[in-house]
Structure 1
Amino acid sequence: MKRCIRVAMALTMVLAAAGAAGCTKERTGGDTAPAASASASISSGGETKPTGRAKVGLVTKTDSNPFFVTLREAARAEAAKLGADFVALAGKFDGDNDGQVTAIENLVQQGVTTILITPNSSTGVLGAIKKARDKQVLVIALDTETDPPSAVDATFATDNTAAGRHQGAYVKAAVGAKQPEVIMLDGTPGSSVDTQRHTGFLQGIGMADGDAHIRGRQSVNGDQNKAQQSMENLLQRSPKINAVYTLNEPTARGANVALKAKGLAASVVVGSIDGGCQGVQDVKDGKYAVTVMQFPKKMAELGVDAAVEFAKSGKKPSGFQDTGSMVITDKPMQGVESKDTAWGLENCWK
C-alpha cells in the first residue's frame, strides 16, 4: 500500500510539472512583442526603436470643410502610395475641441504611430497630445500651430501671419486713396490661425486692434451661414464700409451674399484666404476681390512622409516648415505679388 501511495505521489508531481511548463509556454506566447506592422516604435529605457510600418491617424477640425477634405484625401493617397495604414477622424464642427480630444484618445487606443492634427484650439488639445507623445506617438500639427509650438514634434503649415499680411496689403491697395473702413469676420477664438491671420491683415492694411476705422468685428468659426448672418447684423450698425477681412473662403461667400442683398458688393473690397478651387472660381466670378492660396496637399504629403520615415528609422521632424502661399486675383495691385485665376485654377490646393 505504501509503495502504491509513493508511486501515485510521484506521478502527480510529474503531471503538475508538465502542466506548469505548458502554462508558462502559453503565457509567454501571449506576451510576445507586437509585429512590425502594429507600431513604428518600441520604447526601451527611453530609446525609440523603429519597427517598420507606419499607422497614421489624421484629426481635422471638421470633415466637411473643403480645405480639410482636400487635406484628408491627399494624406490618404500618400499613405496608400507609401504602404502605410491610415485612419481619419474629425471634430463635429469648426471649434469642436472636445471632439478632437476624443479623436486623439481613440487613435492612441488603435495603436497609431503618428498623429497628424489640425487643432481647433491651439491650447485645448495639449493634454491629449502630451499623453500621445508620452506613449512614443509622433505628433505633427498641420495648418494650425499649437501654443506653444513645442507641444508637438513639428508643424507643417502656411505662415498664416504672412498670408493675412498679403490679404491686408492687397485690400489697402485696392481701396486706393480712400481711408479703409473695415469689417472683420474672424474665425474661432483661441485658434492660432485666427490670431495670426487677423494680426497679419492689420499689419498689411496698416491698422491696430481698436482702430476707429474697424467698424465691426465678429467671430464666425469659418462658417458661411454664420458669416452671412453676422455680416447682415454688422451692416445694420455700420453700412458705410469699403473693405472686409474674412478668415477663409466660406466666410467670404457668406459676406458676399449679405453685401449683395444690401447692394454693396460692387463697392466693397472683400479679401480672403484659402485658395481652394471653388474660392479661385469665386474670385474669377467677382464674388470677392482676392484670395491667398494655401497648399494643403503639400502639408498632408509632408506629414505622411515624416510618419513613414519615423516608422522606418525613428527619425522625427522638428520645428515649423512653411508650405507657402500665393495671392490670387484678376485685378493685380502694384507692390503686391500675385497670380491670376487661370494660374489659380491650375494650382488650387496642390
Structure 2
Amino acid sequence: MGHLRLPSRVPVIAVTGVALLVAGCTSTKSGGSDSSAASGGKVSIGLVTKTNSNPYFVKLRESAQTEADAKGAKLIALAGKFDGDNQGQVDAINNLVTQGVKGILITPSNSTGVLGAIKAARDKGILVIALDTATDPASAVDATFATDNEAAGVKQGKYVKAALGSKKPAVVLLDGTPGSTVDDLRHKGFLEGFGLKSGSAEIKGTAVTNGDQTKAQTAMENLYQRDHGINAVYTINEPAAAGAAQALSGKTGVVIGSIDGSCTGVGNVKSGKFAATVMQFPKKMAQDGVDAVVDYAKTNKKPSGFIDTGSQLITDKPVAGLDSKDTAWGLKNCWG
C-alpha cells in the first residue's frame, strides 16, 4: 500500500475531477460492458488508483499497461487527485462505465465510499477487482488481489521486536490515513507481531502521517523531543520511514521498520537508514488483474475471493526464526 509517489511519464488529461491517462487508443464510446466493439476488437480495462503521484501506484499502473499491451488489451487509467479522494474515484468508475470497459481494477481510497459506484458497474456486467486495498465488505467486488496487509504488519512487528533484543521496548507508531483499511490492518498486524495491545505502556506515542515523508519527519521530531528513550518505530510505509530516519539522523539504537518494498526503500535498508522493510508485489497484482479481465472477456469466467499476492521481509540483519531476504535480493525484485 502502498502512499507518496513519483509523477508519471504518461500524459495527464483532467476529466471530471480525476486524472485520465489514455493508453493506446482514443476514448471508447459508451455502451455498458461491450468493450470489444467499443475499442476496435480490443478488450477495454479500467484502472482506478488512489493517486498518480505515489510511486507505488505509478508502478502498479505501468505494470498494468505493460500487461495490457502484451495481451492486446486497452488500458484506461484514472486516479483520485489525492489519497482519500473518494469522490474522484467514484467519478472515475462512472466515467469508465460510460466508456464501455469490460472490467475495472481499483485501489479504493475508502473501502466503503465507492460501493454504490461499484455496484452500478457490476450490475452492467462489468467485472470489478480490488487491487492492493479491499472493499468493506469484500463481497462488494468480484475478487481482491492484494497483499495480506495484516500479515505484512505482523512481519514488521516481529522483526522490530526481535531486533531490539533484550532492550525494554519504547515504541512509537507512525500511522497513515485514519479510516484506511490498509493502514488499520498494518497497524493491527504490527501490534500483534510485536506482542502489544492498543494502550500498552510500551507505546510512547502515535502520529498520523498520511504516509508523507515530511509529515512523518515532523511527527518523529516531536515524539522524540518528548521521549528520548524511544527505540522502536513502526511506519505505515517507506516514505514515512524515511521521514523518521531523517528526524533520528545521528541517533543510535532505534530500530525502524516499514512496509512497501520499493527500490528506494530497499536502498534505505541497505544504507542503514532503517532496519527492515516488508516488500509487496504490485506488479503481480496488476498483471493478475489484467489477465483476469482478459480471461473474463474470453470465457465469462470470474475470479472470486481474496488472492494474496505475497510479501517478503527484507533486511541485511536477519534474526533467527524469521524468514528474510537480503537487500541484494530486494534490489533485484523490488515491487516485482
* 1:278 aligned onto 2:257: no
- Read off the aligned partner of 2:325 and give its amino acid letter: K
* 1:72 aligned onto 2:58: no
Cα distance in 2 for partners of 1:224, 1:253 equals 6
Give the CA deviation at 1:36. Answer: 6.1
Give the CA deviation at 1:337. Answer: 0.8
Aligned pair partner of 1:85 in 57, 74, 79: 74
* Cα deviation 1:11-41 (Å, max 9, x = unaligned): xxxxxxxxxxxxxxxxxxxxx999762369x
Give the CA deviation at 1:257. Answer: 1.0
* 1:339 aligned onto 2:322: no
Cα distance in 2 for partners of 1:97, 1:138 equals 20
Alignment partner, residue 164 of structure 2? 175
- Alpha-carbon distance change, 142 to 35 in structure 1, aligned in 2, over 3 angstroms: closer
* Cα deviation 1:284-332 (Å, max 9, x = unaligned): 0111000001111000000000010111111110000011111000000
Give the CA deviation at 1:234. Answer: 2.0
Determine if contact 1:163/1:197 at 8 Å carries over to the other structure.
Answer: yes
Instruction: Give the 3-state SS of the residue equivalent to 1:147 in structure 2.
Output: coil
Alignment partner, residue 129 of structure 1? 118
Alignment partner, residue 277 of structure 2? 291
- Read off the aligned partner of 2:270 and give its amino acid letter: K
Find runs of 4+ consecutive structure 1 residues off by over 3 angstroms: 32-36
Alignment partner, residue 108 of structure 1? 97
Determine if contact 2:33/2:125 at 8 Å carries over to the other structure.
Answer: no
Determine if contact 2:32/2:125 at 8 Å carries over to the other structure.
Answer: no
- Count of aligned pairs between the two proteins: 306
| Structure 2 length-normalised TM | 0.87
Higher helix share: 1
| Structure 1 length-normalised TM | 0.84
Alignment partner, residue 219 of structure 1? 208
| Pair member with larger Rg | 1
Cα distance in 2 for partners of 1:178, 1:171 equals 11
Give the CA deviation at 1:141. Answer: 0.5
Alignment partner, residue 201 of structure 1? 190
- Read off the aligned partner of 1:221 and give its amino acid letter: N
Aligned pair partner of 2:138 in 144, 149, 159: 149
Cα distance in 2 for partners of 1:141, 1:124 equals 13
Determine if contact 1:113/1:138 at 8 Å carries over to the other structure.
Answer: yes
> Could you list the runs of 5+ residues in structure 1 that have no partner in the other structure?
1-31, 41-50
Identity of aligned residues (%): 66
* 1:120 aligned onto 2:106: no
Give the CA deviation at 1:238. Answer: 2.6
- Read off the aligned partner of 2:51 and give its amino acid letter: T
Determine if contact 1:228/1:258 at 8 Å carries over to the other structure.
Answer: yes
- Read off the aligned partner of 1:211 and give its amino acid letter: S
Aligned pair partner of 1:97 in 68, 80, 86: 86
Cα distance in 2 for partners of 1:136, 1:319 equals 18
Determine if contact 2:60/2:285 at 8 Å carries over to the other structure.
Answer: yes
What's the RMSD between the two structures over aligned residues? Answer: 1.9
* 1:312 aligned onto 2:301: no
- Alpha-carbon distance change, 228 to 33 in structure 1, aligned in 2, over 3 angstroms: closer
Alignment partner, residue 58 of structure 1? 47
Instruction: Give the 3-state SS of the residue equivalent to 1:87 in structure 2.
Output: strand
